[in-house]
Amino acid sequence: MKPPFRIRIGTKLAFFLFFAGIFPMAVFGFLYIRNEQEVTQNEIFNALVLLAESKEVRILEYFDDITARTVDFSSDGYIRDETKRLLNEGLDESKNALSKHLLVNKKPIDERLTGISILNKEGVVIASTDEKEIGKDESNDIYFKEGQTGSVLVRTDPWDVHFNVISPFVVAVPITDKDTHEFLAVIVNVFDPHKLEEILSANFITNENASLEAIVGNDMKTLHTYIVDHEKNVILHPIKKEIDPSHDIGVTTLPVRECLENGKEILGEYIDHSGATVLGSSMCIMEESMVLVVDIEKDVALLPARQAQTKFFGIISVLALLIAALSYFISRILTRPIKALEKSVEIVRAGNLQHRGFVVKTGDEIEELGHAFNAMTASLEERQKVLEEEKKKLAVLLENLPVGVFMMKAPEGTLVATNPKSLELLGQEKGFLQKPHAYADLQNLIHPMKEDGDPYPENELPITIALREGVLAERSDVVITRPNGEKVTLRVVGVPVKDASGTVIYGIAVFDDVTKEHEIDRAKTEFVSLASHQLRTPLSTINWYTEMLLAEDVGKITPDQRSYLDEIYRGNQRMVGLVNALLNVSRIETGTFATEIKAINLVDEVDAVLKESEPMIKEKKMTIIKECAADIPILHVDQKMVRIVFQNLISNALKYTPPEGRITVRVRREGDDHVYIEVSDTGYGIPKHQYGKIFTKLFRADNIVYKDTEGTGLGLYLVKLVVDQLNGKIWFFSEENKGTSFFITLPIS
Partner 1 sequence: MSETNKKIVLVVEDERPLLEAIKIKLESIGFDVVTATSPTQGINMLRDIPHIDAVWLDHYLSVSESGLDFLTEVKKSDIWKNIPVFAVTNTASADHKYSYLELGVTKYYVKADMRLEDIAKDIKEFLEQPTQ
CB of 541 to partner 1, least distance (A): 5
Q: Which is nearer to partner 1, 551 or 630 (CB)?
A: 551
| 548: contact with partner 1 by CB under 8 A | yes
Q: Which residues have CB under 8 Å from 283's CB, separation 6+?
A: 52, 53, 55, 56, 265, 291, 292, 293, 294
Is the Cβ–Cβ distance between 690 and 705 less than 8 Å? Answer: no
| 554: contact with partner 1 by CB under 8 A | yes
Please give the size of the binding site for partner 1, defined by CB under 8 A.
Answer: 27
Backbone angles phi, psi at 144, to 5 degrees: -70, -45
User: Which residue in 75, 352, 384, 541 binds partner 1 (CB under 8 A)?
Assistant: 541
Is the Cβ–Cβ distance between 701 and 686 less than 8 Å? Answer: yes
Q: Return the range that interacts with partner 1 (CB under 8 A); candidates 83-91, 301-309, 383-391, 544-552.
A: 544-552
Q: Which is nearer to partner 1, 397 or 597 (CB)?
A: 597
Helix (H) or strand (E) holding 308: helix 303-349
| 350: contact with partner 1 by CB under 8 A | no
Torsion 293-297-302-307 (CA) sign: negative
What residues form DSSP beta bridges with 513?
Answer: 490
For the segment 434-453, give every residue that binds partner 1 (CB under 8 A). Answer: none
CB of 633 to partner 1, least distance (A): 25
Nearest to 723 by CA among 612, 637, 626: 637
CB of 538 to partner 1, least distance (A): 9
Q: What is the 3-state secondary structure (H, E, C) of 455-502?
A: ECCHHHCHHHHHHHHCCCEEEEEEEEECCCCCEEEEEEEEEEEECCCC
What residues form DSSP beta bridges with 245?
Answer: none
Q: Let me know if 478 is exposed, middle or buried by CB neighbors in 10 A (0-12, 13-18, 19+).
A: buried
CB of 546 to partner 1, least distance (A): 10
Site track 301-320 with partner 1 (rule: CB under 8 A), x = hit: --------------------
Q: Return the range that interacts with partner 1 (CB under 8 A); candidates 305-313, 387-395, 423-431, 533-541.
A: 533-541
For the segment 591-620, give every residue that binds partner 1 (CB under 8 A). Answer: 592, 594-596
SS3 674: strand
Q: Which is nearer to partner 1, 583 or 694 (CB)?
A: 583
β 623-628/662-670 pair status: parallel
| 528: contact with partner 1 by CB under 8 A | yes
User: Which residue in 532, 586, 712, 725 binds partner 1 (CB under 8 A)?
Assistant: 532
Q: Return the range that interacts with partner 1 (CB under 8 A); candidates 180-188, 385-393, 525-533, 629-637.
A: 525-533
User: Which residue in 429, 553, 560, 672 binds partner 1 (CB under 8 A)?
Assistant: 553
* CA separation for the pair 70, 64 (Å, rounded): 10
User: Which residue in 428, 525, 690, 741 binds partner 1 (CB under 8 A)?
Assistant: 525
Is the Cβ–Cβ distance between 193 and 165 less than 8 Å? Answer: yes
For the segment 622-661, give every residue that binds partner 1 (CB under 8 A). Answer: none
Q: Which is nearer to partner 1, 542 or 748 (CB)?
A: 542
Angle, in degrees to the nearest 10, between helices 207-216 and 303-349: 20
CB of 652 to partner 1, least distance (A): 20
CB of 583 to partner 1, least distance (A): 8
CB of 607 to partner 1, least distance (A): 19
Q: Which is nearer to partner 1, 500 or 594 (CB)?
A: 594
CB of 575 to partner 1, least distance (A): 9
User: Which residue in 176, 362, 580, 712 binds partner 1 (CB under 8 A)?
Assistant: 580
User: Which residue in 89, 131, 474, 547 binds partner 1 (CB under 8 A)?
Assistant: 547
Q: If phi over 0 gives left and psi between -120 and 50 gives alpha, with beta otherwise, what is residue 105? A: alpha
Q: Return the range that interacts with partner 1 (CB under 8 A); candidates 572-580, 605-613, 646-654, 663-671.
A: 572-580
| 698: contact with partner 1 by CB under 8 A | no
User: Which residue in 362, 476, 543, 703 binds partner 1 (CB under 8 A)?
Assistant: 543
Classify residue 435 by its DSSP letter: S
Query: 245 preceded by cis ω (within 30°)?
Result: no
* CA separation for the pair 465, 275 (Å, rounded): 100
| 725: contact with partner 1 by CB under 8 A | no
| 474: contact with partner 1 by CB under 8 A | no
User: Which residue in 545, 564, 676, 743 binds partner 1 (CB under 8 A)?
Assistant: 545
Helix and strand tally (H, E) in the chain? 20, 24
Q: Which is nearer to partner 1, 38 or 567 (CB)?
A: 567
Q: Which residues have CB under 8 Å from 409's CB, separation 6+?
A: 416, 505, 506
CB of 744 to partner 1, least distance (A): 24
User: Which residue in 536, 562, 668, 697 binds partner 1 (CB under 8 A)?
Assistant: 536
Classify residue 634 by its DSSP letter: P
* CA separation for the pair 284, 474 (Å, rounded): 121
Q: Which is nearer to partner 1, 531 or 624 (CB)?
A: 531
Q: Let me know if 275 is exposed, middle or buried by CB neighbors in 10 A (0-12, 13-18, 19+).
A: exposed
| 522: contact with partner 1 by CB under 8 A | no
| 61: contact with partner 1 by CB under 8 A | no
Give, in order, the Cα–Cα distances in Å from 403 to each of 392, 436, 474, 497, 510.
Answer: 18, 20, 14, 18, 7
User: Which residue in 207, 529, 563, 737 binds partner 1 (CB under 8 A)?
Assistant: 529
CB of 451 to partner 1, least distance (A): 16
SS3 620: coil
Is the Cβ–Cβ distance between 151 and 173 less than 8 Å? Answer: yes
| 544: contact with partner 1 by CB under 8 A | yes
CB of 577 to partner 1, least distance (A): 9
**Contacting positions for partner 1 (CB under 8 A):** 525, 528-530, 532-533, 536-537, 539-541, 543-545, 547-548, 551, 553-554, 576, 579-580, 583, 592, 594-596
